[in-house]
């Protein structure tokens, strides 16, 4: 497996650099938006950094992203193709909205993605024929098990960076219920057949993976080069370390922790609340929860039961709901640390965003956060048992709450690490080198 880390030494993108060796590129993705969060940010940023470097990039995306794309790239709308919303999209979305998250991911979400990919494929083929596109890059979905319809286009195809191939920690294997686990295992086994029927990943010229775990989860029989490239990146123009560590601090300067993410079961915010109740029993502190999702009502009820909200004293937890990226950045700049207790986090872009803002991170020693954090910039809590995990989260928060110097040292180390390894401007150099290498040696495939 070839490695092309975003921390690769910067290469020139002027005359003779990788950008000169890159053909017209089409970024194809069902979503490209910072408003949607998660993996939808990846194609958005790939298009952004390519255009910033003068690469002849085009974006093919579903029209539900029109407002976000038009607002971000008003001068490049002639380079964007929006595929239309259909009745089948709306039907699958409605059905999926009432299913458990991981069940929907394996069923209606997969079908919805394939329907959209069929539209993306047709649009990409038109761009190849009419506008000389010489390379197609499909950044999402990031799951290595998800089949791809983007192939057989007559030009080199790159898919990824993908991230996956993980399960819940052993101590939490029952966290999502027996039925969901069974369906998920059936889906993983069925992926072998899906990739034979829809062989885009088997035929791709290059498959980008975030780590070795993901490489091992790729479908067998893939013939393209496997290249390691970190999935997430950070836009330092948005996630920047404030000059004053607590510019808007209030409430008597109490230690403030933040959680950012969807309120779904695998994020384990219920365990965070249990841990935080132990924190405030020993030292006053605040927790801001930014995000929304199906678990919010039960989490608010749990917080009330733990005396964190709605009691005789001041609320120690605030549920702030979904917030735009700018507000998330502002809130994180006021926090002393980020806490991400997720038990099923393949990536964890929010960890890098907190590091970019010079904030230490408390996270689960599992999946993506364990790839990003080290003892210099955060505290990883082993998910060995429910009690041990809750206790570990509480201990980590208490340690940071009581040691401002430690918070500053960890924050500074995290900021340096992001600038050196994970900034999107650095990542752009790596992807340009990959484009140039694949374009120079990969034969086109017959158009199908």
Confidence of residue 21 (pLDDT cuts 50, 70, 90): confident
Q: Do both 268 and 402 map to the same domain?
A: yes
CATH number for 125: 3.40.50.2000
Q: What span, in angstroms and rounded, lies between the C-alpha atoms of 319 and 300?
A: 8
349-391 residue pLDDT tens: 999 999 999 999 999 999 999 999 999 999 999 999 999 999 9
Closest CA to 230 of 210, 207, 213: 210
Q: Are residues 354 and 207 in the same domain?
A: no
Q: Say whether both 217 and 260 belong to one domain.
A: no
Chain mean pLDDT for the chain:
87
Q: Specify whether 160 is located in the same domain as 97.
A: yes
CA distance 136 to 60: 10
Can you tell me the distance from the alpha carbon of 97 to that of 105, in angstroms, rounded to the nearest whole number?
Answer: 10
Residue of higher predicted confidence among 95 and 414: 414
| pLDDT category of residue 96 using cuts at 50, 70 and 90 | confident
Same domain for 259 and 157, yes or no, is no
366 within some domain: yes
Q: Which residues of 222-232 are buried (b: 16+ CB within 10 A; e: fewer)?
A: bebbbbbbbbb
Residue 248 pLDDT > 90, yes or no?
no
Do 206 and 352 lie in one domain? The reply is no
Please say if the pLDDT value at position 177 is more than 80. Answer: no
In whole angstroms, what separates CA 400 from the centre of its chain?
Answer: 26
The answer to whether residue 125 sits within a structural domain is yes
Distance from C-alpha of 388 to C-alpha of 169, rounded to nearest angstrom: 13
| Neighbouring residues of 304: CB distance < 8 A, sequence distance ≥ 6 | 310, 311
376, 358 contact by CB (below 8 A): no
What residues contact residue 55 under an 8 Å CB cut-off, 6+ apart? 19, 22, 25, 432
Percent of the chain topping pLDDT 70 = 87
Distances (CA, A) of 302 to 192, 198, 305, 342: 41, 44, 5, 18
Q: Within this chain, do residues 384 and 396 fall inside the same structural domain, yes or no?
A: yes
Radius of gyration (C-alpha) of the chain in whole angstroms: 22
pLDDT of 247 reads: 42
Starting at the earlier edge strand, list the strands of the sheet with 337-340: 317-321, 286-290, 256-260, 337-340, 361-364, 378-381
Pick the most confident of 12-26, 138-152, 184-198. 138-152
Task: Give residue 185's pLDDT.
Answer: 64
3-state secondary structure labels for all residues of the chain = CEECCCCCCCCCCCCCCHHHHCCCEEEECCCCCCCCCHHHHHHHHHHHHHHHCCCCEEEEEEHHHHHHHHHHCHHHHHHEEEECCCHHHHHHHHHHCCCCHHHHHHCHHHHHHHHHHHHHHHHHHHHHHHHCCCEEEECCCCCCCCCECCCCCCCCEEEEEECCCCCCCHHHCCCCCHHHHHHHHHHHHHHHHHHHHCEHHHHCCEEEECCHHHHHCCCCCCCCEEEECCCCCECCCCCCCCCCCCCCCCHHHCCEEEEECCCCHHHCHHHHHHHHHHHHHHCCCEEEEECCCCCHHHHHHHHHHCCCCCCCCCCCEEEEECCCHHHHHHHHHHCCEEEECCCCCCCCHHHHHHHHCCCCEEEECCCHHHHHCCCCCEEEECCCCHHHHHHHHHHHHHHHHCCHHHHHHHHHHHHHHHHHHCEHHHHHHHHHHHHHHHHHHCCCCCCC
Claim to verify: residue 330 and residue 228 sit in the same structural domain? no
Residues 317 and 409 occupy one common structural domain: yes
Tell whether 312 and 176 lie within a shared domain.
no
Residue 184 falls inside a structural domain:
yes
Q: For residue 5, what are the contacts with CB-CB under 8 A and spacing of at least 6?
A: 228, 229, 230, 421, 430
Domain count, the chain: 2
How remote is the C-alpha of 154 from its chain's centroid?
30
Instruction: Answer yes or no: is 448 within a domain.
Output: no
* HSE, side-chain direction, 13 A CA sphere, residue 208: 26
- 229 and 272 in a single domain? The answer is no
**Is 402's pLDDT higher than 70?**
yes
Q: Is residue 447 part of a domain?
A: no
pLDDT of 418 higher than 90:
yes
The domain in which residue 319 lies consists of: 251-421
Whether residue 178 is contained in a domain is answered as: yes
Say if 120 falls within a structural domain. Answer: yes
Q: What's the rounded mean pLDDT across residues 125-147?
A: 93
Position 293 in a domain = yes
| Token duo for residue 157 | 């195809």
Query: Cα separations (Å) of 203 from 23, 36, 444?
Result: 20, 30, 11
> By CB neighbour count within 10 A (0-12 exposed, 13-18 middle, 19+ buried), where does 330 fall?
middle
The reported pTM is 0.85
Model pLDDT, residue 176: 64
Same domain, 286 and 373: yes
Bridge partners of residue 228, in order along the sequence: 3, 209
Residue with the two structure tokens 């006021």:
334
The larger pLDDT score, comparing residue 411 to residue 310, is at 411
pLDDT in tens, 348-359: 899 999 999 999
């Amino acid at each position: 497996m070839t490695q092309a880390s975003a921390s690769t030494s910067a290469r020139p993108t002027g005359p003779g650099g990788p950008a000169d060796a890159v053909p017209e590129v089409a970024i194809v993705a069902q979503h490209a938006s910072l408003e949607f969060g998660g993996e939808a940010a990846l194609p958005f940023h790939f298009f952004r950094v390519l255009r910033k470097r003068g690469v002849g990039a085009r974006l093919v995306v579903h029209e539900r992203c029109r407002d976000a794309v038009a607002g971000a790239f008003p001068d490049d709308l002639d380079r964007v193709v929006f595929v239309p919303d259909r009745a089948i999209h709306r039907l699958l979305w409605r059905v999926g909205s009432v299913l458990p998250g991981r069940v929907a991911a394996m069923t209606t979400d997969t079908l919805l993605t394939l329907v959209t990919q069929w539209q993306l494929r047709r649009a990409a083929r038109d761009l190849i024929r009419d506008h000389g596109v010489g390379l197609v890059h499909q950044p999402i979905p990031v799951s290595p098990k998800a089949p791809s319809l983007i192939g057989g286009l007559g030009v080199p195809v790159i898919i990824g960076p993908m991230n996956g191939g993980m399960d819940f920690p052993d101590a939490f294997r029952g966290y999502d219920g027996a039925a969901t686990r069974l369906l998920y295992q059936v889906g993983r086994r069925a992926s072998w057949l899906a990739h034979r029927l829809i062989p885009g990943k088997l035929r791709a010229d290059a498959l980008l993976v975030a780590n070795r775990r993901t490489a091992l989860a790729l479908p067998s029989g893939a013939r393209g080069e496997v290249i390691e490239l970190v999935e997430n990146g950070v836009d330092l123009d948005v996630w920047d370390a404030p000059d004053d560590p607590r510019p808007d601090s209030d409430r008597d300067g109490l230690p403030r922790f933040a959680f950012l993410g969807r309120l779904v079961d695998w994020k384990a915010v219920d365990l965070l609340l249990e841990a935080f109740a132990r924190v405030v029993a020993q030292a006053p502190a605040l927790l801001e929860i930014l995000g929304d999702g199906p678990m919010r009502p039960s989490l608010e009820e749990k917080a009330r039961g733990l005396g964190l909200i709605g009691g005789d004293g001041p609320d120690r937890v605030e549920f702030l709901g979904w917030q735009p990226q700018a507000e998330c950045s502002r809130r994180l700049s006021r926090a002393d640390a980020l806490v991400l207790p997720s038990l099923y986090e393949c990536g964890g872009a929010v960890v890098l965003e907190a590091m970019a803002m010079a904030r230490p991170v408390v996270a689960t020693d599992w999946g993506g956060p364990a790839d990003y954090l080290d003892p210099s910039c955060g505290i990883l809590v082993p998910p060995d048992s429910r009690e041990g995990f809750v206790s570990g989260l509480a201990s980590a928060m208490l340690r940071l709450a009581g040691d401002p110097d430690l918070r500053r040292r960890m924050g500074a180390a995290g900021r340096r690490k992001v600038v050196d390894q994970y900034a999107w401007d650095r990542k752009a150099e790596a992807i340009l080198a990959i484009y140039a290498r694949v374009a120079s040696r990969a034969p086109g495939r017959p158009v199908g």
